[in-house]
Amino acid sequence: MRRKIQLVGLLILLAFGLRPVAFSQTEELKSLSPKEEHPQALFVTLTLLEQYHFRRLSLSDSMSSVIFDNYIGALDPTKSYFLKSDVAYFEKYRDQLDNDLRNSNLDVAYQIFSIYRERALERYRKISRLLIKEFDFSRDEYYDTDFEKVEWATSREELDERWRVILKNQSIAYKLSGKEWHEITKSLKNRYNRSRKLVYQYNSEDVFETYLNSVTQAFDPHTNYFSPISSENFQMAMSLSLEGIGARLSQRLDYTVVAEIVPGGPAFKSKQLHKDDKIIGVAQGDDGEFIDVIGWRLDDVVQKIRGPKGSVVRLQILKKGDVNALPDTLRLVREKIKLEDEAAQAELIPITQGNETFNLGIITIPSFYINFEDKNNGVQDYKSTTRDVRKLITNLKDRGMDGLLIDLRYNGGGSLTEAIELTGLFIPSGPVVQVKNIDRSVEAHYDRDSQIFYDGPLAVLTNRYSASASEIFSGAIQDYKRGVILGENSFGKGTVQNLIDLDRYVMGRTMDLLSKPQKSEREATSLLNTYNGIKSGKIRVGQLKMTLAKFYRATGSSTQKQGVQPDISFPSPFDPDTFGESGRENALPWDEISSAPFNPTNEISEELLDNLYALYLDDITNDKVMQQLVKEVEETRTDILDTRISLNLDVRRSESEDTDDMSTTISQSEVLTSDEHREKLSEDAYLRESLKLLAKMVKSKVG
């Protein structure tokens, strides 16, 4: 089914982990204010950011404006709650936040949040009225998901109309799943009743975390503040989800969001669930009814997703940014995630070109991993990417491998050391990556081993989800002209983050303040409570993940934003300027430094690249599989650009039907391999084309 991929503004992390409470419409909202430790946590965080963040920014009026927009966008990303008059009233704070932050004043953040709560409850109280009469699903109207272009509503009546469209859009999703109107209204009322309950459960920590993340995101998108509850929920979700689908989960407002995909797990293998996707429904088995989990607390959702190994769970997914569009349905078989599942894996596939057959090895690397615990404990056969790949190459050589493809698709990175050591298997000694630190000093990281473990034909396959350590490896292989990079432009994450525990910094700050005179009794008591609370473990402040350095290739070019551009780019639905690091607000810029001295192997010549590109162009023109791929990519690109979603049921039903039978086209295509591997390649046009090009490389070298 063709899906619209909407790339909209960033939603700031807000994790609750709260227990459901009794609710009544007459219950009064509790007044929220900063906790005693919040001013000191704010001061420490700002000090660390200004002194140690790679960007070396200081708070200013321009930063205040960015923080202001971040905070309003975090609370109301779809412009469905605040009125234009609300935002106009908030505008007086736009240039004042930097001064408030320096004075550890959080009043504005809590004031704006208080108005957000009132507006949210006002909206939820009107849901039933908007669902009294069934919508006219034959009417041609649209819901626009380009929220950056949507104006703030000027009246409550205009907001009513906006919510009518939202609810109609959500109703169509239920209609397409076969539900009747009375079932739809019940589901939607239950959904928003849970959301309403959550509004009453918001606490001081929630406001502080949302606001402080609006501050950290003004420095760069990978710098985040994690409240104690967020850290606990993340660890809880991490440990539980490893026994189910292999997805670490977090919570943003009333949505359960994918925080990370565990390499090797069912979610990773599906290639359909990604970071920042939202899980809105869970069903057990192939026939179970979907349960709407919007507004559920995180641990309850995790309990629904968990289950015995071998059992089926079905998820309804909203792709990143697609808050109100038609969800995808994903079927997963639960597994117990093991380290072996995360490890590199190899396969040997014979590919025929003309009257010659070449045995091509494929090594799939889901992440750059290393078992530090075993290594530090002296275990000789500890697992690591480089160790595993070395063994796999040896086995493939023994089986008669003629050429090797390293598959880094969906590899989001991992150990920097492993990326360097893995590169060393294919190149002579020399610099692999350069790192610029916050003091602007540059350190080159080298492969010190002059031996080349594998010197045969080499290709590397990447996609838009290949990031960080994957880009270091593929960039080095390209710089040394050791192999050909194929596929999509990589993600473009060229920054380095460290996780900092804030507790000890806040203790030091409070101790310093307590040692100084001229404090009021109230202030002194607050400081003493904070100090003793952290010391005893009763108070935890949280953690700061901060960008401290940038990666650069041996040539001096940064991987930031630009990523690694393939030598031969395959059809891709993603625009590198909008999807990936380059599409993130406040991302660090691309730049370059001096090249480190190194000697390319020149295994890959311009003539060889020209020959491979000629073969690729011929396939794009004449190969049925590649023609089908180009067609689907173009359709997806069109969907990405079209931010309007039809609210006509017949139109949506026709859009949801898969009219193209790709399997039929592929099954009739040219046979390149044995029956044993034909199905694998028929389902993966990118891998199939990569092996054809690698076979051409082998043939050129043999010839």
Whether the CB-CB separation of 568 and 616 falls below 8 Å is answered with yes
Is the pLDDT at 557 greater than 80, yes or no?
yes
Q: Are residues 553 and 569 in the same domain?
A: yes
Is the pLDDT at 674 greater than 90, yes or no?
no
More confident residue, 240 or 16: 240
Residue 7's pLDDT is 27
Is the pLDDT at 55 greater than 60, yes or no?
yes
Pair of tokens at residue 515: 């040692």
CATH of the domain at 354: 3.90.226.10
Domain end among 303, 333, 363: 333
Is residue 2 situated within a structural domain?
A: no
Is residue 607 situated within a structural domain?
A: yes
- Mean pLDDT for the stretch of residues 318-337: 71
Residue 243's pLDDT is 52
Q: Are residues 62 and 139 in the same domain?
A: yes
Is the pLDDT at 502 greater than 60, yes or no?
yes
Q: How confident is the model at residue 335 (pLDDT cuts 50, 70, 90)?
A: confident
Is the pLDDT at 344 greater than 80, yes or no?
yes
Average the pLDDT over each of 157-166, 244-253, 453-462, 577-586 and give the range with the smallest value: 244-253
Q: How far apart are CA 358 and CA 700, in angstroms?
A: 12
Q: How far apart are CA 224 and CA 547, in angstroms?
A: 9
Q: Are residues 314 and 329 in the same domain?
A: yes
Out of 185-194, 268-277, 337-346, give the one with best mean pLDDT: 185-194
Give percent of the chain above pLDDT 90. 60
Q: Are residues 438 and 511 in the same domain?
A: no
- Mean pLDDT for the stretch of residues 334-348: 77
- Mean pLDDT for the stretch of residues 615-634: 92
DSSP 201-268: H--HHHHHHHHHHHHHTTT-TT-EEE-HHHHHHHHHHHHHHTTTTSEEEEEETTEEEEEEEPTTSHHH
Is residue 446 situated within a structural domain?
A: yes
Q: Are residues 79 and 164 in the same domain?
A: yes
Is residue 74 situated within a structural domain?
A: yes
Can you say how many angstroms the Cα of residue 595 is from the centroid of all Cα atoms in its chain? 31
Residue 297's pLDDT is 67
Residues with a known catalytic role: 468, 479, 493
Is the pLDDT at 252 greater than 80, yes or no?
no
pLDDT tens per residue, range 504-536 = 999 999 999 888 887 788 888 999 999 999 999
Q: Are residues 523 and 621 in the same domain?
A: no
pLDDT tens per residue, range 430-457 = 999 999 999 999 999 999 999 999 999 9
Q: How confident is the model at residue 253 (pLDDT cuts 50, 70, 90)?
A: low
Average the pLDDT over each of 86-100, 191-205, 436-450 and give the range with the smallest value: 191-205
- Mean pLDDT for the stretch of residues 117-123: 96
More confident residue, 85 or 280: 85
Angle of helix 204-216 relative to helix 38-52, nearest 10 degrees?
Answer: 10
Is the pLDDT at 179 greater than 90, yes or no?
no
Q: Are residues 388 and 290 in the same domain?
A: no
Q: Are residues 142 and 254 in the same domain?
A: no
DSSP 118-147: HHHHHHHHTHHHHTSS---TTS--EEE--T
Amino acid letter, 71:
Y
Residue 293's pLDDT is 85
pLDDT tens per residue, range 268-323 = 888 888 888 888 889 899 888 788 887 776 767 887 888 888 889 999 888 765 44
pLDDT tens per residue, range 402-422 = 999 999 998 988 899 999 999
Residue 233's pLDDT is 55
- Mean pLDDT for the stretch of residues 121-144: 95
Is residue 19 situated within a structural domain?
A: no
Q: How far apart are CA 13 and CA 210, in angstroms?
A: 7
Q: How confident is the model at residue 672 (pLDDT cuts 50, 70, 90)?
A: low
Q: Are residues 484 and 606 in the same domain?
A: yes
Residue 197's pLDDT is 86
Residue 340's pLDDT is 55
Domain extent, residue 353, equals: 343-497+547-626+670-702
Q: What angle do CA 91, 92, 97 make, to 5 degrees?
A: 95
Is residue 652 situated within a structural domain?
A: no
Q: How far apart are CA 63 and CA 492, in angstroms?
A: 24
- Mean pLDDT for the stretch of residues 610-639: 92
Q: What angle do CA 317, 323, 324 make, to 5 degrees?
A: 95
Q: Are residues 284 and 428 in the same domain?
A: no
Is residue 431 situated within a structural domain?
A: yes
Whether the CB-CB separation of 591 and 632 falls below 8 Å is answered with no
Is the pLDDT at 16 greater than 70, yes or no?
no
The β-bridge partners of 543 are: 226, 501
Average the pLDDT over each of 6-10, 44-48, 169-173, 653-657 and give the range with the smallest value: 6-10
Domain end among 333, 358, 377: 333
Q: Are residues 189 and 66 in the same domain?
A: yes
Is residue 648 situated within a structural domain?
A: no
- For all residues of the chain together, what is the average pLDDT? 86
Is the pLDDT at 88 greater than 60, yes or no?
yes
Q: Are residues 487 and 605 in the same domain?
A: yes
Out of 258-272, 334-348, 610-624, 625-639, give the one with best mean pLDDT: 610-624
Cα Rg of the chain, angstroms: 27
- Mean pLDDT for the stretch of residues 85-99: 97
Q: What angle do CA 252, 143, 3 make, to 5 degrees?
A: 70
Residue 275 burial (C-beta neighbours within 10 Å; 0-12, 13-18, 19+): middle
Residue 376's pLDDT is 84
Average the pLDDT over each of 122-136, 253-267, 563-577, 598-612 and give the range with the smallest value: 253-267
* Structural domains counted in the chain: 4
Domain end among 479, 514, 540: 540
Is the pLDDT at 174 greater than 80, yes or no?
yes
pTM above 0.75, yes or no: yes
Is the pLDDT at 17 greater than 80, yes or no?
no
